[in-house]
C-alpha cells in the first residue's frame, strides 16, 4: 500500500508529527487537509506548504467534530484516508491538581472521543472511495503507563483497544484500520523539555510510511517494539524501566 493519489485528512496537522506527515503526503497525493484549534498555526502551515487545505475546528467538542465532518462531506467528498492524530497531554498529579478533572475531560474528549466520533461520522464517506483507511495515532504508552501522565496513557490504551475492535468488526468492509504507535518524538508536544530518547519527527514519519507501504496494520515505531516485547516477557520490570527514563 502506497500513500499516493489520495485525499487525506490529518487531524492536528498544524504541528509536530501531523505537520511532517502533511509535508510529505502533499507531494504525491491529490488533497491533504489539516485541522487544528489555532487559526494562526494553520495559516503558518499553509504559508509553508501552500497546497495544504486548512480547517479550523476544536475536536474536543462534539460540535467541532460535526463541523469538521460536514465540511469534509461538502468540500472533500473524495476523502479516503482519515488520520486521527490530534491529541493533548497533561503532566500532573491527579491527587493534588485542583483542575485534574477538567484536564482529564479535555484529554479524553480530544484523544479518544474525537477519533471515535470522527470515525463514525466519516466512515460513510471514506468507504465510498477506493483505498479507504482510518489511521489512529497512539503511543507505546498504550501498553504501559508513565506515572506523570495520569490520563493520557489511559486515552491511548483505550484508543488502542477501540482500534483493535474496529479492525475486527470492519474486516469484511473496504476500510483498512491501522494503528501507529510512536515512541517519544521531538515535537512542540514536549514544550521545550524533549526527552533525550526522542527521535526526530522526520525519522518517525518516514518509518511510519515505510511500514504502511508494507501493509502493516499495527505499526510500532522505533523503540516501541522493544517496549512491547519487554512488556510481554516481564511487565513489572518494563513498567519500572519505562518510569525510570528521564
Ligand atoms: N511527540 C511525542 O513524543 C509523541 C509520542 C507518542 C505519540 N504521540 C502522538 O502523536 C500525535 C501528534 O503529536 P505531536 O507530538 O505531533 O503533538 P503536537 O506537536 O502538540 O501537535 C498536536 C496537534 O493537535 C492539534 N490539536 C490539539 N488539540 C486539538 C483539538 N481540540 N482540536 C483540533 N486539533 C487539536 C494541535 O493544534 P492546536 O493546538 O492548534 O489545536 C496540533 O496541530 C498525538 O496523537 C500524540 O499522542 C506523540
Pick the CATH number of 7-244 from 3.30.950.10, 3.30.930.10, 1.10.357.10, 3.40.50.720: 3.40.50.720
> Relative to the CA of 14, which ligand 1 atom is closest?
43
High-pLDDT (> 70) share of the chain, %: 99
Confidence at 134, pLDDT banded by 50, 70, 90: very high
Secondary structure E strands in 44-150: 53-56, 81-84, 133-139
Confidence at 246, pLDDT banded by 50, 70, 90: confident
Q: What is the 3-state secondary structure (H, E, C) of 143-200?
A: CCCCCCCCCHHHHHHHHHHHHHHHHHHCCCCCCEEEEEEECCEECHHHCCCCCCCCEE
* pLDDT of amino acid 2: 64
Q: Is residue 216 scored above 70 in pLDDT?
A: yes
Mutate to test the pocket of ligand 1, among 9, 13, 16, 246 (most ligand atoms within 8 A of CB): 16
Between CA 22 and CA 43 the distance in angstroms is 14
Q: Which three cell numbers stand for residue 92?
A: 500532573
DSSP 8-state assignment for residue 216: -
Query: To the nearest whole number, what is the mean pLDDT of the chain?
Result: 97
What does the pLDDT average to over 228-232? Answer: 96
Bridge partners of residue 81, in order along the sequence: 8, 133
**How many helices (H) does the chain have, and how many strands (E)?**
9, 9
First to last CA, the chain: 37
Between CA 118 and CA 108 the distance in angstroms is 14
Place of cell 477501540: 162
What is the Å distance from ligand 1's center to 175 Cα?
24
What does the pLDDT average to over 186-209? Answer: 95
* pLDDT of amino acid 55: 98
* pLDDT of amino acid 245: 87
Mutate to test the pocket of ligand 1, among 68, 86, 186, 193 (most ligand atoms within 8 A of CB): 86
* pLDDT of amino acid 150: 97
Question: From its phi and psi, is residue 39 left (phi > 0), alpha (psi between -120 and 50) or beta?
Answer: alpha
Mark whether 117 is an active-site residue. no
User: Ligand 1: does its nearest atom lie under 6 Å from the Cβ of 222?
Assistant: no
Whether 143 and 227 have beta carbons less than 8 Å apart is answered as yes
Q: Is residue 210 scored above 60 in pLDDT?
A: yes
Furthest C-alpha separation in the chain: 51
Between CA 217 and CA 135 the distance in angstroms is 9
Q: Is residue 1 scored above 80 in pLDDT?
A: no
**Per-residue pLDDT tens digits for 9-40:** 999 999 999 999 999 999 999 999 999 999 99
The answer to whether the pTM exceeds 0.95 is yes
Amino acid at each position: 500500500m502506497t500513500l499516493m493519489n489520495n485525499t487525506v485528512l490529518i487531524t492536528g496537522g498544524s504541528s509536530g508529527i501531523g505537520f511532517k506527515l502533511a509535508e510529505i503526503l502533499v507531494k504525491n497525493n491529490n488533497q491533504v487537509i489539516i485541522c487544528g484549534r489555532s487559526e494562526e498555526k494553520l495559516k503558518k502551515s499553509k504559508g509553508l506548504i501552500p497546497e495544504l487545505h486548512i480547517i479550523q475546528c476544536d475536536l474536543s467538542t462534539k460540535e467541532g467534530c460535526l463541523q469538521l465532518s460536514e465540511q469534509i462531506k461538502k468540500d472533500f467528498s473524495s476523502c479516503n484516508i482519515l488520520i486521527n492524530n490530534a491529541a493533548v497531554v497533561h503532566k500532573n498529579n491527579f491527587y493534588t491538581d485542583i483542575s485534574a478533572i477538567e484536564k482529564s475531560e479535555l484529554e479524553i474528549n480530544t484523544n479518544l472521543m474525537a477519533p471515535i466520533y470522527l470515525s463514525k461520522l466519516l466512515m460513510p464517506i471514506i468507504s465510498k472511495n477506493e483505498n479507504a483507511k482510518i489511521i489512529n495515532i497512539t503511543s507505546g504508552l498504550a501498553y504501559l503507563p508513565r506515572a506523570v501522565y495520569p490520563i493520557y496513557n489511559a486515552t491511548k490504551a483505550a484508543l488502542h483497544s477501540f482500534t483493535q475492535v474496529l479492525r475486527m468488526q470492519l474486516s469484511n468492509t473496504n476500510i483498512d484500520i491501522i494503528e501507529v504507535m510512536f515512541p517519544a518524538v521531538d515535537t512542540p508536544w514536549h514544550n521545550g523539555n524533549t526527552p533525550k530518547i526522542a527521535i526526530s519527527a522526520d525519522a518517525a514519519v518516514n518509518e511510519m510510511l515505510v511500514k504502511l507501504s508494507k501493509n502493516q496494520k499495527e505499526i510500532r515505531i522505533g523503540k516501541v517494539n522493544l517496549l512491547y516485547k519487554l512488556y510481554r516477557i516481564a511487565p513489572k520490570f518494563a513498567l519500572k524501566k519505562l518510569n525510570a527514563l528521564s
